[in-house]
Amino acid sequence: MRTTTTIAETRAFLDGARAGGATVGLVPTLGSLHGGHTSLMARAAADCDVVAVSVFVNPLQFGVGEDFAAYPRDVDADAEVVSRSGVDLLFVPSVEEMYPEPVRTTVSVSGLTTRLEGSSRPSHFAGVATVLAKLWNIVGPCRAYFGEKDWQQLAVVRRLAADLSFPVEVVACPTVREPDGLAMASRNAYLDPAERAAATVLHRALLAGVAAVEAGERDPAQVRATMAAVVGTEPLAELDYAEVVDATTLDPVDPLTGELRLLAAVGLGRARLIDNVGVLAD
Ligand code: AMP
């Protein structure tokens, strides 16, 4: 496996691979790699001749007062994980390499980005879209791999690729969970033992929402209330939002019908955790 830190050496390596006819898959990450990330790498390795993983804690996608400085970073551990995952190239740029000058050109996806995560994190998705536009231009992947864990991000990334005609197929991969249901996430490292035990409330709330829909509930307010009530049973957890929306457009649906997505965010100590599940209301 090759590790690069500059855009030039990354392009040179991948230009060589493409010249030989190889297909390139990209797994963009913030690092602090876990089983969710390695599932994306395994899928990319199964689909593509050459797999590139980027590890970059992108300052543009962190808002003022968020955890950019505290975000867990361990490049050596990440390199070890990547080297065992069928990956050919690990790209670990510095902030200076990616943003040598104050950024004046950004990409933002409208509509999809204002609600849910967007209401708590107004600049987040523009930061994600901008760094992905750069990574796609640097790496030139024919496929890029994203987790359903970040469902709204997936919707934003799909529109980014379609609207700007990036020649990249966006591949969605299922959420990988701990045995007790907690979605794997780098920010789980912020949880102390009591918070870690309490964190299962997020997935339990979503499953209660799914059960309500499956039992015939078609009022979104009732489904929201069901999820909020479950979060309310856990004193350490603070509900940010619990919503049920159209799975594709992320628009509100009332009465509930079709492919739905239930999404929720909670605060737990220093951590802010998000998760989502799908359900069909027919
Ligand atoms: P991050 O490093 O948190 O930005 O995540 C990088 C990629 O891994 C994103 O596409 C995430 O959606 C995906 N990912 C993170 N956690 C999980 C998980 N538990 N299961 C599946 N994919 C995940």
Residue 184 near ligand 1, beta carbon < 6 Å: yes
Q: What is the mean pLDDT of residues 150-173?
A: 98
**What does 114-128 look like in DSSP terms, one character per residue?**
TSTHHHH-TTHHHHH
Residue 150 near ligand 1, beta carbon < 6 Å: yes
Question: Considering only CA atoms, which of 53, 32, 30 is closest in space to residue 41?
Answer: 53
Tokens of 213: 């829909």
Which amino acid residue places its CA nearest to atom 5 of ligand 1? Answer: 29
Exposed (0-12), middle (13-18) or buried (19+): which is 1, by Cβ within 10 Å? Answer: middle
Angle between helices 124-139 and 7-19 (to 10 degrees): 50
Q: What is the pLDDT of residues 180-189, one digit of tens each?
A: 999 999 999 9
Cα–Cα distance measured from residue 82 to residue 13, given in angstroms and rounded to the nearest whole number: 17
pLDDT at 92: 98
- 91: three-class secondary structure by DSSP: strand
Backbone φ, ψ for residue 64 (5° rounding) = -60, 130
Residue 36 near ligand 1, beta carbon < 6 Å: yes
Q: What is the pLDDT of residues 108-146, one digit of tens each?
A: 999 999 999 999 999 999 999 999 999 999 999 999 999
Q: What is the mean pLDDT of residues 239-261?
A: 97
Residue 93 near ligand 1, beta carbon < 6 Å: no
pLDDT at 136: 98
Task: Report how far ligand 1's centroid is from the alpha carbon of 219 (Å).
Answer: 31
pLDDT at 253: 98
Longest dimension (CA), the chain: 57
pLDDT at 129: 98
Q: How confident is the model at residue 47 (pLDDT cuts 50, 70, 90)?
A: very high
Share of the chain above pLDDT 70, in %: 100
pLDDT at 268: 98
Residue 186 near ligand 1, beta carbon < 6 Å: yes
pLDDT at 149: 98
pLDDT at 280: 98
Tokens of 82: 């990547």
Cα–Cα distance measured from residue 225 to residue 173, given in angstroms and rounded to the nearest whole number: 29
Q: What is the pLDDT of residues 3-38, one digit of tens each?
A: 999 999 999 999 999 999 999 999 999 999 999 999
Q: What is the pLDDT of residues 85-113, one digit of tens each?
A: 999 999 999 999 999 999 999 999 999 99
> 173-209: buried (b, 16+ CB within 10 Å) or exposed (e) per residue?
bebbbbeeebbbbbbbebbeeebbebbbbbbbbbbbb
Verdict on whether the full-model pTM lies above 0.85: yes
Backbone φ, ψ for residue 74 (5° rounding) = -155, 85
The active-site residue out of 34, 37, 124, 203 is 37
pLDDT at 243: 98
Q: What is the pLDDT of residues 57-75, one digit of tens each?
A: 999 999 999 999 999 999 9
Integer CA distances (angstroms), 281 to 208, 210, 213, 225, 252, in order: 15, 10, 7, 18, 14
| Whether 37 is catalytic | yes
Task: Report how far ligand 1's centroid is from the alpha carbon of 254 (Å).
Answer: 30
Q: Ligand 1 pocket: which of 26, 29, 82, 274 to mutate (most atoms <8 Å of CB)?
A: 29
Going along the chain from its start, the domains and CATH numbers come out as 2-173 (3.40.50.620), 186-277 (3.30.1300.10)
Q: What is the mean pLDDT of residues 144-158?
A: 98
Cα–Cα distance measured from residue 254 to residue 56, given in angstroms and rounded to the nearest whole number: 39
Q: What is the pLDDT of residues 137-147, one digit of tens each?
A: 999 999 999 99
Residue 146 near ligand 1, beta carbon < 6 Å: yes
Q: What is the pLDDT of residues 204-214, one digit of tens each?
A: 999 999 999 99
Which amino acid residue places its CA nearest to atom 14 of ligand 1? Answer: 147
Task: Report how far ligand 1's centroid is from the alpha carbon of 29 (Å).
Answer: 7
Exposed (0-12), middle (13-18) or buried (19+): which is 130, by Cβ within 10 Å? Answer: buried
